[in-house]
Amino acid sequence: MIIDLRSDTVTRPTSGMLDAMFSAKVGDDVFGEDEAVNALEDKAASMFGMDSAMFCPSGTMTNQIAIKCFTQPLDEVIADETAHVYRYEGGGIAFNSSASVRLLNGDRGRLNPELIKSHINPDNVHHPKSSLVVLENTVNRGGGSIYTIGQIKPVADLCKAEGLKLHLDGARLFNALVETNDDPKEYGKLFDGISICLSKGLGAPVGSLLLGSKETIKYARRVRKVLGGGMRQAGFLAAAGIYALDNHIDRLKEDHRHAKMLGEVLTGLPFIKSVMPVDTNIVIFELDDTFPAEEFVIKLNEQNVKCNTFGHQMIRFVTHLDVNSEMIDQVINVLKKIDV
Ligand SMILES: *Cc1c(COP(=O)(O)O)cnc(C)c1O
């Protein structure tokens, strides 16, 4: 039995999800004729109180399309220095949007209005034009840290006052929502664009949605086409997404419980220097200098537990749909038996 804690992207479709996929009503989605894709887009948009949604193969694509929609060449995007849109999307902001990025040092990846305000450029020709703020919720490199809607509201107010667009990289937004119990419709009121991922904790094999106004999504469809992201009978994938939204949101709490259990055990181990607070399904910790992180990964691998390094002496564990309570007990046993 392999226990894969490398990412919440490694899940396989459940049998219920596969049934839903095989019975999907499909058509040509580039013609707007795929029933399952249309149903998924309508469902996601109305869930968040937004006009429209667009289905894409990946979260990278929905984020990059959003940035393209909300900037012009020579503009500047404001984001945390750990942001996925900056660190893990291959330099796409420069490539796709010809925009620069201002990186801020937030609290475990979370920005506040004062910090953002002090980095908005003055409106003169020397400076790129600040035009977009991107938040991430939950923050991957923040150890799954959460924004509440109460923390986002003042950021949205600032953006409105300063004429900036606001986009949310919500690859793991549902992990935040099951903890805060915030109303998803409030998100629709505050953001110009929202990306959600179906293939992280929700357990679908593929897929992300960009949510926005009618005009935004109309233009976004042009950008998706030019990137080669217009898929035809994509309803087989969309049906997995619908199934995930109906069945796999509430259970995310289980992943969070598992992550907290791992965090607690790690905190007590002699070769661990520090563990980031565990708020959702991500556990990031630092090993003592005497125990090289690469060696730690190999030792766990030998016991059928897969994980990755996440920076110098850092390790990340991610819990998900394909890790059950027995597996967590097994990981805890393995961790307790490690002798350095
Ligand atoms: C996974 C992830 C994405 C999207 O990644 P894809 O692999 O392109 O779907 C975006 N933002 C965050 C924070 C992520 O963790």
Confidence check: pLDDT of 340 > 90: no
Which of 11, 84, 86 to probe ligand 1 with, by most ligand atoms within 8 A of CB? 84
Number of neighbours of residue 185 by Cβ within 10 angstroms: 12
Confidence of residue 339 (pLDDT cuts 50, 70, 90): confident
The maximal CA–CA distance of the chain, rounded, in angstroms, is 61
Using a pLDDT cut of 90, give the percent of the chain over it.
99
| pLDDT tens column, 166-201 | 999 999 999 999 999 999 999 999 999 999 999 999
What average pLDDT score do residues 303-328 get? 97
Angle formed at CA 47 by CA 9 and CA 55, multiple of 5 degrees? 50
Confidence check: pLDDT of 279 > 90: yes
Q: Residue 35: helix, strand or coil by DSSP? A: helix
What average pLDDT score do residues 262-279 get? 97
Mention every residue, 6+ apart, whose C-beta is less than 8 A from residue 136. Answer: 79, 80, 82, 83, 84, 85, 109, 142, 168, 169, 170, 171
What average pLDDT score do residues 90-114 get? 98
What average pLDDT score do residues 54-65 get? 98
Query: Which domains does the chain possess?
Result: 15-247 (3.40.640.10), 251-336 (3.90.1150.10)
**Using a 6 Å cutoff on CB, does residue 197 contact ligand 1?**
yes
Q: Please give the distance, rounded to the nearest whole angstrom, from the Cα atom of residue 340 to the centre of ligand 1.
A: 34
Which ligand 1 atom is the nearest neighbour of the CA of 197? Answer: 9
**Using a 6 Å cutoff on CB, does residue 198 contact ligand 1?**
no
Which ligand 1 atom is the nearest neighbour of the CA of 136? Answer: 13
Nearest of 293, 325, 322, 321 to residue 307 by alpha carbon: 293
pLDDT value for 156: 98
Which of 8, 64, 167, 169 to probe ligand 1 with, by most ligand atoms within 8 A of CB? 169
Residue 134: both structure tokens together: 């991107």
**Using a 6 Å cutoff on CB, does residue 136 contact ligand 1?**
yes
pLDDT value for 70: 98
pLDDT value for 323: 98
pLDDT value for 326: 98
**Using a 6 Å cutoff on CB, does residue 204 contact ligand 1?**
no
